[in-house]
Structures are given as C-alpha cells and as structure tokens.
Structure 1
Amino acid sequence: MISNKISEWFYMYNKDIYHFLVYYIGSGDVEDLVQEVFIRAIKGFDTYQEKSSPKTWLFSIARHVGIDEIRKRKRLRKKQIIGFRDEETDKETPEKILQLNEDNRLLYQAIQSLKANYRDVIILRGIKELSVSETASILNWDENKVRITYHRALKTLQKVKEDFLYER
C-alpha cells in the first residue's frame, strides 16, 4: 500500500524534485538525493497528514535533504582546508558542479548568492511555480510572509543579476 502510493508519487513528482534539488544544491548530480527524498517519504509515510498535497509534502522533505547535503559539503570543505583529503571532494570539479548552460549558470550564481530565505522562496515560487499556499506549507510560513519575501527576493535577485552582468 505505502510503496504503491510512493511509487505513484515518484512517477508524478521525481522530475520536479530533481529540478528543485539542482537549483537548491547547485549540482546536476542529484539523482541520489532524489532517491533519498523518496526513501524518507517511505520511512515517514505515517507522519504524512493529508492537510497538504503529496507534492507539497515531498518538496518539504526535499528541502530538508538539500539542507543536509549543503551541511555535508561544508563539512567536507572544512576537512579539506584543515588538510584532510576526501576522494568524493576530489571528484567534484567546477565543470561537473555547473553542468548547466551559460544562461542557467548566471541564474544559478545569482540565486546562490541570495540569503537562504530568499533562495528558498525563489526556487519554490519562481522556478518550481508552486502556489503561495504550497510554498507556505513547505517553508512553514504564513502566506503573507511568502508573498512579501518573494517580492523582496525578486527585487534582490534582479539587482544581483545586473551586478553579475556588469562584472562580465
């Protein structure tokens, strides 16, 4: 029963989750993280309350998976700075991390330079085109905060993109 439902959701939402994580993490190599989202969904299925849509619930899980991955990468960088070497870190090259075309790379850089709240709301509302209520549910905000933060984030993103273009 549970695995059938999760399988159905996987086929419906795996591409959306994949694209969300690409923008959130900044790497095109997120297939394992997509799987992790659905593994966590299976493990936490009993906590799913049908107050929100399955898509909203899965995006919430994906956001937490993304946060965990960013923390993991920061720890790896710190180890590297201290002198420890990790084979996994050595495999990551700028070309591999940014396998996006030039236009997407500029957008990616601009998004990554935003503070976390702005980045979250831009990815969910602007890129994944989720509704205000879905975004509020994922971020655990009220809808008004989503609207205000999204507006401010768009203004900031436009300024950052202009700065990037000016620097080129």
Structure 2
Amino acid sequence: MDNNKKISDWFEQYGNDIYHFLIYRIGPTDAEDLLQEVFIKALRGFNSYQEKSNPKTWLFSIARNVAVDEVRKRKVRKWMSHIPLEKTNEPETTISPQSILDHEEEHQTIYRAIKLLKSNYQDVIILRGIKELSIAETADVLKWSKSKVRSTQHRARIALHEALRRCNDNEETRS
C-alpha cells in the first residue's frame, strides 16, 4: 500500500479523534486547518514513521506538536482567546431547549477550565479523559514514561477540579 493510501486510511480512522483533540487544545476556529496540517506533516514524514508505535499515537504526537506551535504563534500575535466549543450534533426533538442550553454551558465550562491548566495537564486530560487513550498510548504520544503519565494525570485531575470550581464560582458571581 502506498503512503498516500495509508495516510488517507488513517485520516478516515483517526481524523475525527485528532480533530477533537485540536478543538480542545486550540479551539474550533483553526482546528480544521490544523487537522489538514497534521496529515500533511504525516504524509511528508511518513518515511520517518517507525512502526514501533501505533499510527494513532504517532498522529496524536504530530497533532500535539502542531497545537503547541499554533499556541506559540498566537502568543506572539497576542490574540489568544477562549472560544467555546461548537455544537457537533443536531439536538433531538424530544430534548428541551433548556436541557440543550444546560449541556452547552457545561461543555463551555469544561473547555474554559481545561484552558486554565498548564499545557502538560491539558494534554493528559484530553488524551486520557476525553479521547480515552490508554496510559501506554498516552505515554507514546507525549514521549513520557507510563508512571509520569499516571502521576501527571493525577495532578491534572486535581488541577481540573480546582479550575472547574473557579469557573463555577466566577459564573455564580456574574449571575
């Protein structure tokens, strides 16, 4: 199978997961462009891909690096903002408008709380908690030991809990 076909197959298999990772890391505005960049980099670097790791973890590693580069570019341009997640599913007609609003507000609060964490914590929360990668897969993506993934995940959960509390406190004071 040629490189283009493999990358195309991987896009079909993993593109949605990579896209959601990018949304959580940098926001929905640029996620589609960065998704394309991830797979272009994968195609260009395919010859350096060593089949020691799962292609999914290799692609997540590329996505993480692309996201880090994007954040750096934004810091240089000084316009990093917190953009709420876009709705991805059409609501069913049996769901009330209030429940849709509550669900969207919950997603926005979680997104804001994750954005308050330092980048290593963001990566672990997104990869383990949201994308449900195993500890081994997360270690491959982040190029960490499994024990570092476990300990960082533990600290990240504590930090996320605190960030969620702060976000909720801020929302209550605004009301």
TM bin, normalised by shorter chain, reads 0.7 to 0.9
After superposition, the C-alpha distances for 1:15-73 in whole angstroms (9 at most, x for unaligned) are 00000000011234411100000000000001111111000000000000101111111
Find the aligned partners of 1:72 and 1:98 in 2 and give their Cα distance. 20
- For the residues of structure 1 that align with 2:52 and 2:68, how far apart are their CA atoms? 24
In structure 2, list runs of 5 or more residues that go unmatched.
87-103
Partner of 2:66: 65
Counterpart amino acid of residue 113 in structure 2: A
Q: In structure 1, what is the equivalent of residue 125 of structure 2?
A: 122
Equivalent position of 2:22 in the other structure: 21
Count of matched residue pairs: 153
The separation in 1 between residues aligned to 2:44 and 2:81, in whole angstroms, is: 33
1:41 is aligned to 2:12: no
Aligned counterpart, 1:98: 84
Root mean square deviation of aligned Cα: 1.6
Is 1:54 aligned to residue 40 of structure 2? Answer: no
Contact 1:26 1:108 in 2 (8 A): no
Q: Secondary structure at the match of 2:127?
A: helix
Please give the residue correspondences for 1:73-92 in structure 2 after superposition, counting only pairs within 5 Å.
73-77=74-78
The answer on 1:161 being equivalent to 2:147 is no
Query: CA distance change for structure 1 residues 122 and 10 in 2, over 3 Å: closer, same or farther?
Result: same
Is 2:114–2:160's contact at 8 Å kept on the other side of the alignment? yes
Contact 2:7 2:42 in 1 (8 A): yes
Which amino acid letter does the alignment assign opposite residue 4 of structure 2? S
Matched, 1:132 2:135: yes
> What is the CA–CA distance in structure 2 between the aligned matches of 1:116 and 1:104, rounded to whole Å?
19
Deviation for aligned residue 1:75: 1.4
